[in-house]
Amino acid sequence: MAEKIVAEGIEASLGGRLLSVRPLAGGCIGEVYRAELSDGSAVVAKVDRAGTSHLEREAYMLRYLREESGLPVPEVYHSSEKLLLMQFMEGESSFCDRAERHAAELLAGLHNITTGSYGHERDTLIGNLDQPNPPTESWTEFFREHRLLYMARTAHRAGRLPSADLKRVERLAERLDGLIEEPERPSLIHGDAWSGNVLAKGEKITAFLDPAIYYADPEMELAFISLFNSFGDTFLRGYEEIRGIRPGFFEMRRDLYNLYPLLVHVYFFGGGYLSSTQNILRRFGC
């Protein structure tokens, strides 16, 4: 069934003929395949037979990054609710020091793309979960309402976050004005830069995959990278040299901002991610 969907999409959008498909490692959006074409080329195909993974929104985010930034992302050839065809990007999720430095340069450049409000022109995704992005002038308000509380309530409705922990998140949300500050400008972020979503070949980063874009405090990106050890100290030093990191990030805001991706992972996986969430809440007296 998946092969038929891929073959029909390739013929309609690229005018090519499918030779074979083989599974690739992927995230939580759809089934992921490498499709070999009769002309010797290859494309990546994401298939969602149920039509619930919002592949059109993933295509939108990739196109936005290609048009608005210098971040290397796959070109989208075709998109629908059931099929996404895109450029096959060479590389592996393994990074030498020079590749980490290149990642710092690329993300610092991405974060230099700014706009007038937090959020985005439309809602985006993280995994296959909605990311609401109503344009908001205050970063504290946006983070509190549309990231921290939104995701805590989503995880609670799914039965993943206990009621007692939801109340603790709500108490922390009431105190955010005294814990975080307004950045200079809203910055465009990739939003899901764990190592599996980044490819490198030798000393160069070749691709950032599976974005979860919106305009945010760029420290959201740094916190996420630190949480999942996407890159090491070479990346952080390089980024700080290029763009700077405000005082208080490592001491306080990193943990606060990581509540959002932790709650996303509580929703999907539960387990140790709930314990990590509870540890941060305890740290802040909640």
For residue 32, the 8-state DSSP code is E
pLDDT higher than threshold 70 for residue 29: no
Q: Domain ranges in the chain? A: 2-87, 97-283
Q: Note the pLDDT of residue 28.
A: 58
- The mean of the pLDDT values for the chain is 93
Question: Is 77 in contact with 11 (CB distance < 8 Å)?
Answer: no
Give the start-end residues of each E strand in the chain.
18-23, 31-37, 42-47, 76-79, 83-87, 124-126, 129-131, 187-189, 198-201, 204-208, 214-216
Q: Which pLDDT score, from 0 to 100, does residue 215 have?
A: 98
Convert the pLDDT of each residue in 55-82 to its tens digit. Answer: 999 999 999 999 999 999 999 999 988 8
Best CATH choice for the domain 97-283 from the list 3.90.1200.10, 1.10.4160.10, 3.40.50.150, 2.40.10.120: 3.90.1200.10
pLDDT for residue 1 is more than 70: no
Q: Is the pLDDT of residue 100 over 60?
A: yes
192 is catalytic: yes
**Spatial separation of the C-alpha atoms in residues 241 and 255, rounded to whole Å:** 22
Mean pLDDT of 133-161: 98
Catalytic residue among 192, 210, 217, 255: 192
DSSP-based three-state secondary structure for 120: coil
Q: What is the pLDDT of residue 9?
A: 79
Q: What whole-number distance in Å separates Cα of residue 31 and Cα of residue 70?
A: 28
Whether 220 has a pLDDT exceeding 90, the answer reads yes
Using the structure block, give the residue that is written with the tokens 């990590």.
276
Alpha helices per DSSP H over 175-228 = 219-227
Instruction: Work out the pLDDT band at 52, boundaries 50, 70, 90.
Output: low
The pair of three-digit structure tokens given for residue 69, joined into one six-digit string: 């930034």
Alpha helices in 15-136 (DSSP H): 55-68, 97-111
pTM: 0.95
Provide the CATH topology of domain 2-87: Phosphorylase Kinase; domain 1 (3.30.200)
Tell me the C-alpha distance between 92 and 201, whole Å.
Answer: 7
Q: From residue 249, give the alpha-carbon distance in Å to each of 111, 146, 219, 220, 221.
A: 16, 21, 7, 10, 12
* DSSP helix/strand/coil, 78: strand
